[in-house]
Amino acid sequence: MNILHIDSAITGDASVSRLLTAEIVAKLKAGRRDATVTYRDLAEGVPAIDNDWFHAVRQSPETPTADQQALIDVSDRFLAEVKDADVLVIGLPIYNFTLTAQLKNWFDQIARAGISFRYTAEGPEGLMKGKRAIVAYAAAGTPIGSELDFASGYIRHMLGFIGITDVEFVPADGLAFDRDAGLARARTALDKIAA
């Protein structure tokens, strides 16, 4: 089993989503000698897509310049990690009611027509099928699934868009009001997730 472990919180050791992703990965690895983990810390930076990225990556020039090739290589690396994974463990800290900019940038980098999805007469089809995603949702005051939560639905949609429809959430919300209770709820959800 190949695990892609993704964190995006900017709060370092104080991050609940980082704590939870580590616990999820440990549970998945327990008793599995074949498990491998690729770790990606998006807080270290994920380039936002822009006009240069569009011309390099989306338009795929036959002879890209060195700068264009560098942009293509970054996107290709992110995509290769997803392709190689059986399970994605994603930390989803909530800032201002939504996901981090770095996590949004990561989705922009991997949503590529003809590689992670394709357009068909029936609509878009995800090409990263057969994978599982476990998302550690951590929020100070945004309850998961509430009208204030603009992140969990987006994550589920984007993963489904690229073909990953087996998506589970480990939610730790209400942390600003009762951190211990929020963590207890998350760990109860984690206990129910099959390794």
The DSSP-derived string for 134-171 is EEEEE-SS--TTSTT--SHHHHHHHHHHTT--EEEEEE
Check the annotation: does 89 bind a ligand.
Answer: no
Residues 6+ apart with CB under 8 A from 182: 16, 138, 172, 173, 174, 175
**DSSP structural state of residue 131:** -
Q: Which fold has domain 2-192?
A: Rossmann fold (3.40.50)
> Distances in Å between the alpha carbon of 163 and those of 115, 117, 124, 127, 166?
11, 7, 10, 5, 9
60 known member of a binding site: no
The whole-number pLDDT of residue 60 equals 83
Cβ-proximal residues to 12 (8 Å cutoff; 6+ apart), any chain:
18
Spatial distance between the Cα atoms of 100 and 96, rounded to a whole number of angstroms: 9
pLDDT for the residue numbered 58 = 87
- Domain residue spans of the chain: 2-192
Known binding residue 15? Answer is: yes
By CB atoms closer than 10 A (0-12, 13-18, 19+), residue 140 is middle
Predicted confidence pLDDT, tens digits, the chain (195 residues): 999 999 999 999 899 999 999 999 999 999 788 999 999 999 999 999 999 999 999 888 889 999 999 999 999 999 999 999 999 999 999 999 999 999 999 999 999 999 999 999 999 999 999 999 999 999 999 999 999 999 999 999 999 999 999 999 999 999 999 999 999 999 999 998 876
* Integer Cα distance of 10 and 96 in angstroms: 13
